[in-house]
């Protein structure tokens, strides 16, 4: 009997460990690539040993919905062939964004999350020839809720920044699947969140969250070309960065794919500017992005952001952090060639509105912004402070500003003080009037109105007479 109890206990424990630690205890694959985070050339992984990490998608109900009011709904199509960002069945110029509903369409299964991947569909030679995305125009515009994208053909000479005099970053240039935290010289707003440090990775992307963990490719990235690059594999492959007061540049120069090194060398840049815009500049792309293998490393071009939700299991002293990806921008891979430039312009967001008045009006913001008086924050329900918003019950708020009423207690105290002062003054006058020989009585007689008027008349006359005998001396 004791043996069966032990087996049952161990089975339950094994199940619990798998539920909690399953997202971490994974094998190498396209969606769960682990990176070493280094700072000052020292390994400095900041994830807590007692922290279990899992990845998920934000549900459609997580975002506040604005009532349909024409173009203010935030869901209508805009010029330039853009599509509804919530619609996964339409590809506006080949660009799409992650829907709010994780169950809407096949996009809900995120290849970046550390989960089992569906088998790839063989294409063979039956696929139709790819159509040139620039057949109608040299510029492709699209809208993605949080960002507005413009893709330019053959424009590298207008945007490429030469970093020839800049020394290469030794740690990044000599490593594979390595990332380094680098401070910015200006505040960069990523999905409306202020960022002062970024994490540059060898795999062709920049990780943007202050929370560091191994699975950097999952979400919260800026990816000009995320792939399995290994700068240490080929001579001359290097990674550079240059920080200015107004912009920050990262260059992956002559980098090669570790598992496809025969494809050639890639050179491209990512530029972050103080207006929070992002520029991808592709100098050399030797093969089509669609031909880059995602078997050992995810291949992505675009942006992604997420928020966290922490739960604590006191019995096992374990905190579980679920990372919910709520939005991403997928730049169409068929537009990325040598000479292509992608500019992502940041659009207004609720979390950058710092007052109740601006939040409730949310002018030029396509989201339904609501103000939480308890924490003094504006949100549409999806940002880094989502759990903070939930803990304080902001979800139930009506979004209205709290009236600035004068405290009743202060009004009562002020009225009582005035009444007491007036009563004291009346009592003192009565005492002085009924006791004329007292000091108060004598003072009151000396300062009664008739005496004050006489003194003023005397001062006036003495001033006029003295003016007649005024003498000037230049001694």
**pLDDT by residue (tens digit) across 135-152?**
777 889 988 899 999 999
DSSP-assigned letter for residue 92? B
What pLDDT, on the 0 to 100 scale, is given for residue 170?
Answer: 92
pLDDT (0 to 100) of residue 231? 93
In 3D, which of 277, 274, 288 has the Cα closest to residue 340? 288
- Does 92 have pLDDT greater than 50? no
Dihedrals phi, psi of 359, to nearest 5 degrees: -70, -45
Q: What is the residue-averaged pLDDT of the chain?
A: 75
- Six-digit token string for 241: 């960065």
* Residue 238 parent element (H or E): strand 238-243
- In angstroms, rounded to a whole number, what is the distance separating the alpha carbons of residues 148 and 155? 18
Alpha carbons 178 and 268: distance in angstroms, whole number:
18
Per-residue pLDDT, averaged over 76-86, amounts to: 29
Q: What are phi and psi of 147, to 5 degrees?
A: -140, 155
pLDDT at 85: 33
- pLDDT confidence band for 14 (50 / 70 / 90): very low
Lowest average pLDDT, out of 73-82, 145-154, 393-402, 441-450, goes to 73-82
Tell me the C-alpha distance between 31 and 34, whole Å.
9
Is the separation of the CB atoms in 103 and 119 below 8 Å?
no
Question: 331 versus 451: which is more confidently predicted?
Answer: 331
More confident residue, 20 or 114: 20
* pLDDT at 36 exceeding the cut of 60: yes
Q: What is the Cα 4 distance to its own chain's centre?
A: 52
**Whole-angstrom Cα distance, residue 56 to residue 150?**
29
Q: What band does 461 get if pLDDT is binned at 50, 70 and 90?
A: low
In terms of phi and psi (left: phi > 0; alpha: psi -120 to 50; beta: otherwise), the region of 431 is: alpha
- Of 134, 136, 139, the C-alpha closest to 150 is 139
Looking at the DSSP bridge assignments, the partners of residue 270 are 250, 280
Instruction: Give Cα separations from 6 to 1, 3, 10, 136, 390 (angstroms).
Output: 9, 5, 6, 70, 40
Contact 330, 96 (CB under 8 A): yes
Tell me: pLDDT of 93 over 70. Answer: no
Q: Where are the beta strands (DSSP E) in 256-334?
A: 266-273, 278-284, 300-313, 318-330
Using 50, 70 and 90 to split pLDDT, how confident is the model at 212?
confident
What pLDDT shows up at residue 303? 96
- Percentage helix, strand, coil, to 5, in the chain? 25, 25, 45
The residue assigned the tokens 């139930």 is 396
Angstrom CA distances, 293 to 109, 112, 218, 238, stand at: 19, 14, 17, 21
Which pair of structure tokens corresponds to residue 176?
A: 């594979």
- The residues that bridge with 30 in the sheet, in sequence order, are none
pLDDT tens across 46-56, in order? 445 567 777 78
Distance between CA 385 and CA 383 in Å, rounded?
5
| Predicted local confidence at residue 9, as pLDDT | 47
What was the pLDDT predicted at 406? 57
Interval 63-82 mean pLDDT: 36
| More confident call, 359 vs 454 | 359
Find out whether 264 and 256 touch, Cβ atoms under 8 Å.
yes
**Average pLDDT in the 189-199 region?**
95
Check residues 466 and 106 and name the one with the higher pLDDT.
466
pLDDT band (50, 70, 90) for residue 398: low
Residues 6+ apart with CB under 8 A from 135: none
Could you give the C-alpha distances from 366 to 143, 148, 190, 348, in angstroms and in order? 12, 13, 17, 8
**Residues across the chain:** 475
Is the predicted pLDDT of residue 68 greater than 70, yes or no? no
Instruction: Say whether pLDDT at 17 is over 60.
Output: no
Rounded to two decimals, the pTM is: 0.69
Residue with tokens 């304080």: 392
Enclosing H/E stretch for 344: strand 341-346
Per-residue confidence at 129, pLDDT binned at 50, 70, 90? low
Look at residue 190 and tell me whether its pLDDT is greater than 90. yes
Instruction: Please say whether the dihedral angle defined by the alpha carbons of residues 286, 288, 291 and 294, taken in this order, is positive or negative.
Output: positive
Distance, in Å, from the CA atom of 391 to the CA atom of 267, rounded to the nearest integer, reads 46
Tally Cβ neighbours within 10 Å of residue 185: 13
CB 320 within 8 A of CB 311: yes
Please provide the distance, in angstroms rounded to a whole number, between the alpha carbons at the two ends of the chain. 122
CA distances from 313 to 316, 321, 323, 383 (A): 6, 11, 17, 25
Give 262-291 pLDDT, tens digit per residue: 889 999 999 999 999 999 999 999 999 999
Q: Are 350 and 362 in contact (CB under 8 A)?
A: yes
Percent of the chain with pLDDT over 90: 39
Q: Residue 97 in contact with residue 85, Cβ under 8 Å?
A: yes
With 80 as the cut, is the pLDDT of residue 418 above it? Answer: yes
Question: What pLDDT sits at residue 289?
Answer: 95
Please determine, for residue 27, whether its predicted confidence score (pLDDT) is greater than 90: no
- What average pLDDT does range 31-41 have in this prediction? 70
Distance CA 109, CA 34 (A): 20
Q: How far apart are CA 84 and CA 104, in angstroms?
A: 14
């Amino acid at each position: 009997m004791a043996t069966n109890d032990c087996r049952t206990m161990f089975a339950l424990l094994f199940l619990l460990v798998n539920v909690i630690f399953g997202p971490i205890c994974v094998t190498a694959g396209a969606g769960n690539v682990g990176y070493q985070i280094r700072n000052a050339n020292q390994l400095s992984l900041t994830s807590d040993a007692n922290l279990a990490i899992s990845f998920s998608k934000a549900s459609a109900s997580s975002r506040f919905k604005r009532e349909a009011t024409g173009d203010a709904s935030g869901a209508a199509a805009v010029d330039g062939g853009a599509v509804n960002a919530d619609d996964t069945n339409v590809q506006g110029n080949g660009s799409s964004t992650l829907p709010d509903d994780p169950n809407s369409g096949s996009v809900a299964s995120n290849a970046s999350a550390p989960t089992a991947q569906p088998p790839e569909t063989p294409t063979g030679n039956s696929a139709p020839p790819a159509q040139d995305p620039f057949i109608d125009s040299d510029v492709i515009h699209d809208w993605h809720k949080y960002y507005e994208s413009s893709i330019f053909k053959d424009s590298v000479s207008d945007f490429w920044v030469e970093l020839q005099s800049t020394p290469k970053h030794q740690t990044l240039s000599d490593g594979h699947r390595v990332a380094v935290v680098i401070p910015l010289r200006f505040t960069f707003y990523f999905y409306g969140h202020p960022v002062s440090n970024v994490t540059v990775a060898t795999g062709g992307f920049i990780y943007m969250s202050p929370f560091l963990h191994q699975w950097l490719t999952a979400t919260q990235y800026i990816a000009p070309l995320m792939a399995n690059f290994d700068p240490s594999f080929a001579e001359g492959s290097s990674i550079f960065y240059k920080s200015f007061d107004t912009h920050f540049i990262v260059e992956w120069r002559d980098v090669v794919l570790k598992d496809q090194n025969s494809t050639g060398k890639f050179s491209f840049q990512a530029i972050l500017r103080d207006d929070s815009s992002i520029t991808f500049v592709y100098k050399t792309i030797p093969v089509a992005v669609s031909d880059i293998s995602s078997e050992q490393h995810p291949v992505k071009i675009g942006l992604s952001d997420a928020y966290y939700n922490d739960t604590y299991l006191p019995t096992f002293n374990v905190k579980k952090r679920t990372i919910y990806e709520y939005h991403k921008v997928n730049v169409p891979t068929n537009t990325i060639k040598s000479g292509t430039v992608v500019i992502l312009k940041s659009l207004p967001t609720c979390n950058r509105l710092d007052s109740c008045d601006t939040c409730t009006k949310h002018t030029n913001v396509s989201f339904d912004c609501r103000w939480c008086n308890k924490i003094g924050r504006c949100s549409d329900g999806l940002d880094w402070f989502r759990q903070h918003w939930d803990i304080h019950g902001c979800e139930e708020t009506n979004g209205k500003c709290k009236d600035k009423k004068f405290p009743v207690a202060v009004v009562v105290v002020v009225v009582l003080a005035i009444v007491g002062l007036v009563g004291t003054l009346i009592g003192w006058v009565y005492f002085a009037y009924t006791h004329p020989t007292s000091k108060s009585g004598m003072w009151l007689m000396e300062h009664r109105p008739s005496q004050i008027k006489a003194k003023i008349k005397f001062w006036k006359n003495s001033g006029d007479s003295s003016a007649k005998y005024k003498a000037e001396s230049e001694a």
